[in-house]
Structure 1
Amino acid sequence: MHTVWKGSISFGLVNIPVKLHAATENKDIKLRQLHKECHTPINYQKVCEGCKKEVQSEDIVKAYEYSKNKFVVLDDEELEKLKKENDDKAVEIIDFVKLEEIDPIYFERSYYMAPDGGGGKAYSLLKKALTESGKIGVAKIMIRSKEQLAVVRVYEEILIMETIHFPDEVRSAKDVPNIPSEPAIVQKELDTALLLVEQLTTKFEPEKYTDDYRTALMELIEDKKNGNKTVTASEKQAAAPSNVTDLMSALQASLDKTKKKKPAPRKKKAAKTS
């Protein structure tokens, strides 16, 4: 299981070296966009709207737009310094609370925690303390240059850390439009609804719920593949050098970037055809 973060978790004077492993994975089926004429994958260019030309990574700076078309530019050195001041590689448990006190709307992503570098005994101590007390730990952690609020709890005999939203990241339910006022409910209607709820009530068994759309889509893809209903991109075009970058890959790389990289050599731009 791939390690996504390595550091330590602390509560009081106890310090436990740990590794984080993603507890969930995205099973979405990713579909590529192809040129209908030659079936070559479509890519995206970083283009400056002002200059109307492609821009290389070394010519891009980060900025915060505080009003329409007005920006505060932040260079990599400033961001790196700020990151180092806040990134001490430690998950600091601030408080202990009951799990039921946290509404599910706050939960974001889950990570399994494994002991590292001889931290097994302290890891077991924290796990035992959480189990016996029935509490979970509220902590702070820096992940990918972003400070996160998180909870540490016991899940299937191991420690798990779940990042949660800060309060100001959760929108107010009062701002949701078109919510009707409470109408008068007829008792007979309510009794029927409660009866229906009772009839459908069961024990939660997650393995019985499946993604029917994903299953059907994969079956369709396999049927087309087995029936030789496939296309092949032109080798000449597919192998041609290109400095275009997949948009999502570029955005993710920008988030993960913590230091300057050597600029990639500028490649020839493909001739534009009419």
Structure 2
Amino acid sequence: MHTIWKGSISFGLVNIPIKLHAATENNDVKLRQLHKECNSPISYQKVCPICEKEVHSEDIVKAYEYTKNKFVVLDEEELEKLKKENEDKAVEIIDFVKLEEIDPIYFERSYFMAPDSNGGKAYALLRKALQESGKIGVAKIIIRSKEQLAVVRVYKEALLMEIIHFPDEVRNVQDVPNIPSEESVVKKELDTALMLVEQLTTIFEPGKYTDEYRTALMELIEEKKSGNAAVTGAIGKQPISPSNTTDLMAALQASLNKTAKKKPITRKKALKKA
């Protein structure tokens, strides 16, 4: 597994060197966009709407828009300093809570925690402590320049770090439109609904749930491949940006000037000079 973060996590005086590995993956079928006429893949450029030219990475700065069209520009050095100051800190478990106290709306992404060199004993200790106490740890961690709130829990034989949202990242349910107020429910309808719930109640077995759309889409793709319906994308030329156009015009003019200087003298002009 690819390591996406390397550092240490501690609880009390126990320090555990760890590595994080993504626990989930996105298996969506990715579709490309082609030009209908020639089947060439469509590319996207970063273009400044004012200068009307392509903007390269080295010409882009980061900024915060604090009001409409008003920005505070942040230097890379300033961002790197903030990042370094926080990354240098070891991840510390600051609280222990019960898992059922956290609503699922807070959970965002899962990572497997693996012990780094000489961390096996402390790793096993934390795992056992969580198992015996029935608690999970709450911690903070910097991943990809963003401070994250996280919980550490036991998943089968491994420790799992769950990145969770900060409270201000969860929207207020009162802002959701058209939610009906408390209304009286007809008892007969409720009894029927409860009966349906009871009939459909079972033990959760994740293996029985599959992405039927993705399966059908892949079957369609394979069918079209087998039926010689595949197309070959056209090999396109690199698009010329406005800045390149200026360079091209200058090169053309220089070529014309050079050609004019080397133009052979005609017989008529030679006689005139004589």
Q: Which residue of 2 aligns with 1:247?
A: none
Q: Which residue of 2 aligns with 1:34?
A: 34
Residue 130, structure 1, aligned to residue 119, structure 2: no
CA offsets, 1:124-181, max 9 Å, x none?
A: 0000000000000000000000000000000011100000000000001111111112
**Residue 227 and residue 202 in structure 1: after superposition, are their counterparts in 2 closer, same or farther (change >3 A)?**
same
Residue 191, structure 1, aligned to residue 230, structure 2: no
The answer to whether the Cα contact below 8 Å between 1:242 and 1:268 also exists between their aligned partners in 2 is no
Distance in 2 (CA, whole Å) between partners of 1:58 and 1:79 is: 16
Residue 163, structure 1, aligned to residue 163, structure 2: yes
Code of the aligned partner of 2:43: N
Q: Which residue of 2 aligns with 1:209?
A: 209
TM-score computed with the length of structure 2 as normaliser: 0.86
Q: Which residue of 2 aligns with 1:107?
A: 107
Kindly state the Cα deviation for residue 186 of structure 1 after the two structures are TM-superposed: 1.2
Aligned residue for 1:217, secondary structure, equals helix
Kindly state the Cα deviation for residue 64 of structure 1 after the two structures are TM-superposed: 0.4
CA offsets, 1:37-95, max 9 Å, x none?
A: 11010011110011111111111100000011100000100100111111125221000
Q: Which residue of 1 aligns with 2:17?
A: 17
Kindly state the Cα deviation for residue 27 of structure 1 after the two structures are TM-superposed: 0.5
Code of the aligned partner of 1:102: I
Aligned residue for 1:149, secondary structure, equals strand
Distance in 1 (CA, whole Å) between partners of 2:9 and 2:244 is: 49
The answer to whether the Cα contact below 8 Å between 1:6 and 1:89 also exists between their aligned partners in 2 is no
Code of the aligned partner of 1:232: T
The answer to whether the Cα contact below 8 Å between 1:149 and 1:166 also exists between their aligned partners in 2 is yes
Aligned residue for 2:110, secondary structure, equals strand
Q: How does 1:49-128 map to 2 (within 5 A)?
A: 49-88=49-88, 90-128=90-128
- Runs of 5+ consecutive residues of structure 1 not aligned to the other structure: 245-266
Q: How does 1:133-148 map to 2 (within 5 A)?
A: 133-148=133-148
Code of the aligned partner of 1:35: H
The answer to whether the Cα contact below 8 Å between 1:86 and 1:142 also exists between their aligned partners in 2 is yes
Aligned residue for 1:219, secondary structure, equals helix
Larger radius of gyration: 2
Kindly state the Cα deviation for residue 242 of structure 1 after the two structures are TM-superposed: 5.7
Q: Which has the higher contact order (CA 8 A, sep 6+)?
A: 1
**Greater helix content:** 2
TM-score computed with the length of structure 1 as normaliser: 0.86
Q: Which residue of 2 aligns with 1:47?
A: 47
Aligned residue for 2:38, secondary structure, equals coil
Distance in 1 (CA, whole Å) between partners of 2:240 and 2:95 is: 49
Aligned residue for 1:160, secondary structure, equals strand
Distance in 2 (CA, whole Å) between partners of 1:66 and 1:174 is: 25
Aligned residue for 2:221, secondary structure, equals helix
CA offsets, 1:187-213, max 9 Å, x none?
A: 111111111101100000000000000
CA offsets, 1:93-123, max 9 Å, x none?
A: 0000000000000000000000001100000
Identity across aligned pairs (percent)? 78
- Runs of 5+ consecutive residues of structure 2 not aligned to the other structure: 249-274
Q: Which residue of 1 aligns with 2:267?
A: none
Distance in 2 (CA, whole Å) between partners of 1:158 and 1:84 is: 29
Code of the aligned partner of 1:56: H
**Residue 89 and residue 21 in structure 1: after superposition, are their counterparts in 2 closer, same or farther (change >3 A)?**
farther
The answer to whether the Cα contact below 8 Å between 1:89 and 1:142 also exists between their aligned partners in 2 is no
**Residue 109 and residue 143 in structure 1: after superposition, are their counterparts in 2 closer, same or farther (change >3 A)?**
same
The answer to whether the Cα contact below 8 Å between 1:150 and 1:163 also exists between their aligned partners in 2 is yes
